[in-house]
Structure 1
Amino acid sequence: MQLSIGTPYRENAIVSIAQAAISRAQLEHFYTTLYLARWQPGVQRLPLIGPKLAKGLGRRAYAGIPTAQVTNLAILSELVHISTRRLLGSRWPALAANRMYRVKAQFDKAVARRLNKQPTDVLVGMYGASLESFRVIQQHGGMAVLNFVNSHPAEQNRYLVELAGLDAIHHEMIPAWVSARVEGELALADLVLVPSRFVAEQLLKHGVSSDKIAMLPYGVDLQAFHPQSRPESDKHAVELLYVGQISHRKGIRVLLDAARRCRELPVRFTLIGPMVSSEVFAGGLPANVTYAGASLPGGVAEAMRRADLFVLPTLEDACALVVLEAMAAALPVVTTINNGSGELIEDGRDGLIIPPGDANALVRAVTRLVEEPELRRQLGDAARQKVQSAHSWDAYGASVLQAIDARSQQLAQRGVQRA
């Protein structure tokens, strides 16, 4: 059984699926927008800008996937999207968001054209970028597998209205035409990969059959994300880290509200992540908060090794990977019940779970961790033990292939022509 993958951007789960398929000699094609690994060696040698440019290209180089199996599609659309996001994203975020969705649709059409000429047994496609591809693959008797990396659009919009007070035209809301595409993908998919019970229950609520939902929690790179010894020091403040989009959805307003209420505590808040909704910073940042930008020179892993605790007060999240990464770095984590990765945390044992949108609860959790260093150590150690014993990307990729095999056999027994 040969498998092809379509993803318009780098996504850890789908890369691990590709790597697992390669290990079984099953990967036929890997379709994406910009895969630039072959350019890295050359630009590395350029004076002055070479190393920096090579690092940027590295974000488009997927380790372990041979260049011969990679096909770049919708390249111009992706370049326009990147330019729009970087040049105009902060001033016109709605335009940047629209371009992102349009790239996915254009990429999907390009994959569909390829599949008409080169059918495959199984296509693994991404949320919002697979509608036309799924139609074609099923016309050829293949199996459609949807990597459902977000919440259901209707549920995501509901949370943004109820917990963030956004209106229907805000750029963080999922547009109606995108929601319709995702509904179509769910209807066509033979198998839907979800990372959490949080998302699985949403899909069941919206009529997706339980027999085509595979709930498989994400993995984490245990080599990149690991603890380092934190000897006693003379520093006067506990370092609290947030990593993620600067947006309403991620609970930034709640986080800033909590930071203001923690101004008497010896704690410093550092925020890292791309700016999505600059209005969440309206009124300025509290004195104990620093926004470090979209990234740091040492990367997220290094920032986590320097931090004392990690907070993600998200209003909704299918399965925020940064939580697993923080756990792997032995950081005590505070996150919400609306975060799928929070399902891995046993409250009070290997992290703290709070209600979404509740600044008071966040203040109480932060205060507790700031004032109890031994609790921070215990939660962090337990978190590391949990993820290293059960959550690797290798295990995730293998479990997806097993789920595809099982679903294929199930469909065959019912007389459905699939791979």
Structure 2
Amino acid sequence: MSVDRTVVSVMGRFHAFDLARELDRRGRLARLFTSYPSSLLPRFGLDPAMGRTLPWVELSTRALRKVAPERGRRHAPWFARRYDRWVAAQLEEGPSAFIGWSGQCRASLERARDLGMTTIVERGSAHIEVQRDLLAAEFERAGLRPVLPHPAVVEAELAEYELADFVQVPSEFARASFVERGFDPAKILVNAYGVELGAFSPPVRQPAGFRVLFCGRASVQKGIGHLLAGFAALDAPEAELWIQGAVEQDAEHYRAECTDERVKWLGHRPQHDLPSVYREAHVFCLPSIQDGFGLVVPQAMASGLPVVVTSSTGAADMVREGVDGHVVPPGDAAAITAVLRNLHADRERLRTMSAAAAERVGSGWSWSDYGARAVELLERARAMCGHAPVVIPGPGAATTLRRAG
């Protein structure tokens, strides 16, 4: 009996490499298209023979973003179209499904449909219009010049949503954003991301002091201003806030104006350094204005950190309120302060929550678990055609799948 195999296409990497690796381990990967050089694929557990790559796109976009960030943003849609057309020209008969990353797969979706594949757009954030509107409101509130998705990107994504058989998202927050925009719930798949459990683990003993950690690109979208304000109101002279990651241009003024010596701007570090950074912290905070999931959240929990996230951060799905973390409203610095104050004052509770966080991630949140759910979703997506909803068990909220007739 033939086995259904899937094509995965991504300009860049994102979690597409994790998806491709897990599909390949199960004999379900037909091909990985990417702009990453093939020589880098083994670093992520991928067989270079399974990949087709267009590295000049990756090198060009990275160089442009580095030397001229604004030009890089303006030209991003052009590079995405070039990559998409290249993928479309490479697609062949045989695979049963195609998964393309949003904003870069319109032509390849059309070609995959012509070849009889089930087509899925992978969207890692909220619906593009919801993302745009949430960010516009936040920039206005902060009195900053808005940096929003390029109109060409919005247009391309909307077309992709309509073209595809399904849109796949990582969280209930992201799913709800599509429903809010009138999107057919029958076309939405949900599969929460995973974490490499072998790479992240709690420290042998809790470090001294009280250290709050943020990991990721510090930006308006990630709520960095609210985190700084919330921490500033914490009356704990020995406490520290570590900001691990590059600072986006829209958040540079926060760093320039920050005079609190307790705040440490660590800058970017390679992925393999992150486990040791997590083990030096006591609490993790990701107060995003919008975030489809936040891969750093399960990493932090696997490292034994209680997490503080907003209800607009998709990884809130995995947080058990008051058990292994807290969910606060987006843009609420006072709520962040209150949570940090309580955790700082009750170290026994902090230790209990730390153990609960590590335990939580160990059950259903590995990349292997994600891969198993991905295969089941693909199988049922292929089979469904106008049937009643099917509930697929997941580690958080149940996943509902129904294909529109």
Task: Work out the CA distance in 2 between the residues paired with 1:187 and 1:286.
Answer: 48
Task: Work out the CA distance in 2 between the residues paired with 1:384 and 1:248.
Answer: 29
The one-letter amino acid paired with 2:335 is A
Give TM-score scaled by structure 1 length: 0.85
Tell whether the 8 Å contact from 1:248 to 1:280 is kept in structure 2 after alignment. Answer: no
Tell whether the 8 Å contact from 2:65 to 2:72 is kept in structure 1 after alignment. Answer: yes
Task: Work out the CA distance in 2 between the residues paired with 1:195 and 1:361.
Answer: 25
**Cα offset for 1:256?**
1.5
Runs of 5+ unmatched residues, structure 1:
38-56, 415-419
**Cα offset for 1:330?**
0.9
Task: Work out the CA distance in 2 between the residues paired with 1:34 and 1:167.
Answer: 36
Tell whether the 8 Å contact from 2:12 to 2:58 is kept in structure 1 after alignment. Answer: no
Question: 1:135 — aligned with what?
Answer: 110
The one-letter amino acid paired with 1:160 is L
Question: 1:324 — aligned with what?
Answer: 298
1:246-293 CA deviation, whole Å, 9 max, x = no partner?
110101111111232225442111101122222332423421101111
Tell whether the 8 Å contact from 1:247 to 1:280 is kept in structure 2 after alignment. Answer: no
Question: 2:228 — aligned with what?
Answer: 256
**Cα offset for 1:143?**
1.4
**Cα offset for 1:319?**
0.5
Tell whether the 8 Å contact from 2:38 to 2:53 is kept in structure 1 after alignment. Answer: no
Larger displacement relative to structure 2 (255-264 or 207-216): 255-264
**Cα offset for 1:163?**
3.1
- The SS at the match of 1:390 is coil
Larger displacement relative to structure 2 (241-250 or 252-261): 252-261
Task: Work out the CA distance in 2 between the residues paired with 1:78 and 1:181.
Answer: 20
Q: CA RMSD in A?
A: 2.5
Question: 1:288 — aligned with what?
Answer: 262
Tell whether the 8 Å contact from 2:120 to 2:164 is kept in structure 1 after alignment. Answer: yes
Give TM-score scaled by structure 2 length: 0.88
Question: 2:398 — aligned with what?
Answer: none
Corresponding position: 1:72 with 2:48: no
The one-letter amino acid paired with 1:3 is T
Question: 1:242 — aligned with what?
Answer: 214
Tell whether the 8 Å contact from 2:136 to 2:146 is kept in structure 1 after alignment. Answer: no
Larger displacement relative to structure 2 (404-413 or 312-321): 404-413
Task: Work out the CA distance in 2 between the residues paired with 1:112 and 1:285.
Answer: 51
Count of residue pairs brought into register by the alignment: 385
Corresponding position: 1:269 with 2:241: yes
- The SS at the match of 1:290 is strand
Tell whether the 8 Å contact from 2:230 to 2:336 is kept in structure 1 after alignment. Answer: yes
Task: Work out the CA distance in 2 between the residues paired with 1:99 and 1:167.
Answer: 27
Tell whether the 8 Å contact from 1:256 to 1:285 is kept in structure 2 after alignment. Answer: no
1:214-244 CA deviation, whole Å, 9 max, x = no partner?
111111111111111125x7x4x31111001
Task: Work out the CA distance in 2 between the residues paired with 1:275 and 1:340.
Answer: 22
Task: Work out the CA distance in 1 between the residues paired with 2:36 and 2:272.
Answer: 24
Task: Work out the CA distance in 2 between the residues paired with 1:199 and 1:26.
Answer: 26
Task: Work out the CA distance in 2 between the residues paired with 1:368 and 1:99.
Answer: 46
Question: 2:120 — aligned with what?
Answer: 145
- The SS at the match of 1:4 is strand
Question: 1:104 — aligned with what?
Answer: 80
Task: Work out the CA distance in 2 between the residues paired with 1:386 and 1:273.
Answer: 25
Q: 1:82 to 1:330 in 2, by over 3 A?
A: same
Tell whether the 8 Å contact from 1:198 to 1:339 is kept in structure 2 after alignment. Answer: yes
The one-letter amino acid paired with 2:64 is T
Q: 1:359 to 1:203 in 2, by over 3 A?
A: same
Question: 1:28 — aligned with what?
Answer: 30
Tell whether the 8 Å contact from 2:139 to 2:146 is kept in structure 1 after alignment. Answer: no
- The SS at the match of 2:285 is strand
Question: 2:391 — aligned with what?
Answer: none
Tell whether the 8 Å contact from 1:17 to 1:398 is kept in structure 2 after alignment. Answer: no
Tell whether the 8 Å contact from 1:212 to 1:407 is kept in structure 2 after alignment. Answer: no
